[in-house]
Amino acid sequence: MERKFDKVVALAKARGFVFPSSEIYGGLGSINDYGPLGVELKNNIKKAWWDFMLSHRNIVGLDSGILMHPKIWEASGHVAGFSDPLVDCKKCKSRFRADHLLESLGIKPDFSPGSKIDMKKLACPECGGELTDIRQFNLMFKTFIGPVESEANQIYLRPETAQGIYVNFLNVKESMRLKVPFGIAQIGKAFRNEITPGNFIFRMREFEQMEMQYFVEEKESMQAFKDWRELRREWYLSLGMNEKNLRFREHESDELAHYAKAAIDIEYNFGFSENESFKELEGIHHRGTWDLSRHQEYSGQKLTVKDEENKDYLPTVVETSIGADRAFLAFMLEAYTEIEGGRSTTTESNKEKEVVLKLHPKLAPIKIAILPLSKKENLSAKAESVYAELSKHYRVQYDETGSIGKRYRRQDEIGTPYCLTVDFDTLENNKVTVRDRDTMKQDLVDIAELEAYFLEKFNF
């Protein structure tokens, strides 16, 4: 049976959500482009996250550069340690992440000095060939700043957005007259030269992150960690995610970074394979004072703030970090619904399977479709005037080709919450029929009242 995941990938391409990058040149490993509907959905996800974060009184936004001073990545530990264990097949030259390879064989990866795991005893999953020893491979993309391609001018494309927040911590605090606790939110591109990217947009080499670093006093930090866990859970549920598809996996003590007090992965049931169902979608991390203390040390600049007794201290950081692309995939999978036998009443579609993308209306790329029943001039003119009015407020699609049943199904497949038909009665009574995607309930609405009608529908 075809997996839901494969069906969503096919739909995403066919209906203009996601295209493989540079396709006419054979593609480029694990980079994807968002099509006309994809960019709308992704923007809506980003906006929902941004509005949620900025609705907290003590959270402000930031948009820092992709290119930053190279010392930042020394301070953050990325130059020394942002690497994955890599093995090659000596025969077919395929490359694998050793930890992923072990996990797929049901072996817990352990690369500590006393580990009994010997990669050479394993065979290449592609051709059965012998594997090399593990090498550490740094995931940061390098480039040069300025006209001279020398080591002194080497810089990195950021592998995460968080560091831009840490290095602007004091600028933000002082310019906005903020007092701890406060948070800084940022959305932006990140780049990782992943060894084994894949699973569509789940793991890409260029992707987008939505990160929020919350600066808090140590004594209040565990409470903040718990609060953010709950707030993030509520965010997913408010956008229509089913709780049973989310899992909050607390990190074991041996998984935690030495400076971290606690960490949770919010996992989603992506269903890539039977033994690989739940995978990380978001991380919530208690990072102690690690990041600020490192930047203080490497930059030589004081990054402390004053407590009630006027003593200097470094705030503790609780971060929430989610991939916009992974969220996109999770919301698509969550919304994808097949209805066997169909639910339309038109004869041609009676026995077919119908696909409905039950996206939350806030996320749906197209909010309203306008479907004139016929292409006759007077109907088109009426429908076009409705389009002109509604498109001032909503993303609206106008479709007059094909049978009405087919047009409804096209809209259901891309998740449009409301379809509005203009028929010959409209010319008499100035009323249109509005059909709800999920309930199929139809309302007859006066054109003069459409604005108020949709204002109520999209009031969230």
How is 179-216 classified by DSSP, letter by letter?
A: -SSEEEEEEEEEE---SS-BTTTTB-SEEEEEEEEEEE
Of 45, 262, 281, 318, the one binding ligand ATP by CB under 6 A:
281
Coil/strand/helix, residue 444: strand
Q: Residue 453: helix, strand or coil by DSSP? A: helix
Binding mask 170-209 for ligand ATP (x = CB under 6 A): ----------------------x-x--------xx--x-x
- Of the candidate residues 99, 130, 227, 280, the single one contacting ligand ATP (CB under 6 A): 280
* H helical segments located in 89-168: 98-104, 162-167
Q: Which helix (H) or strand (E) holds 4?
A: helix 4-14
Q: Of 40, 325, 412, 423, which one interacts with ligand ATP (CB under 6 A)? A: 325
Minimum CB–partner distance for residue 192 and ligand ATP (Å):
5
Nearer to ligand ATP, 141 or 458 (CB): 141
Quick check: helix, strand or coil at residue 419? strand
Choice between 47 and 306, CB closer to ligand ATP: 47
* Cβ at position 204, least distance to ligand ATP in Å: 4
Identify which of residues 156 and 418 has a Cβ nearer to ligand ATP in the complex: 156
- Report in angstroms how near the CB of residue 287 gets to ligand ATP at its nearest: 11
Q: Which two tokens stand for residue 292?
A: 């600020």
CA distance 210 to 50: 8
Determine the interface stretch with ligand ATP among 277-285, 299-307, 349-357, 419-427 (rule: CB under 6 A).
Answer: 277-285
- CA 274, CA 277: separation in Å to the nearest integer? 6
Listed ranges 18-26, 251-259, 281-289, 332-340: which one lies at the site for ligand ATP (CB under 6 A): 281-289
Contact between 40 and ligand ATP per CB under 6 A: no
Neighbours of 103 (CB within 10 A): 14
Q: Which amino acid is at 214?
A: Y
Minimum distance of ligand ATP from residue 80's CB (angstroms): 16
In DSSP terms, 254 is beta-bridged to: none
Contact call for residue 75 and ligand ATP (CB under 6 A)? no
Q: Angle 36-54/324-335 helices, nearest 10 degrees? A: 110
- Does residue 282 belong to the site contacting ligand ATP (CB under 6 A)? yes
Q: Which two tokens stand for residue 84?
A: 């994955």
Q: Which of residues 118-177 bind ligand ATP (CB under 6 A)?
A: 160
3-state secondary structure of 42: helix
Query: Contacts with ligand ATP in 331-360 (CB under 6 A)?
Result: none
Residue 334 vs 423, nearer CB to ligand ATP? 334
Nearer to ligand ATP, 35 or 109 (CB): 109
Closest residue to ligand ATP using C-beta atoms = 323
Question: Shortest gap between Cβ of 30 and ligand ATP (angstroms)?
Answer: 8
Site string for ligand ATP, 289-318 (x = CB under 6 A): ------------------------------
Residue 67 has phi, psi (to 5 degrees) of -95, 130
CA-based nearest residue to 204, from 386, 36, 329: 329
Q: Which residues of 270-294 are buried (b: 16+ CB within 10 A; e: fewer)?
A: bbbeeeeebbbbbbbbbbbbbbbeb
Pair of tokens at residue 235: 């965010």
Stretch touching ligand ATP by CB under 6 A, among 45-53, 236-244, 320-328, 378-386: 320-328
Binding site for ligand ATP (CB under 6 A): 160, 192, 194, 203-204, 207, 209, 280-283, 321-323, 325-326
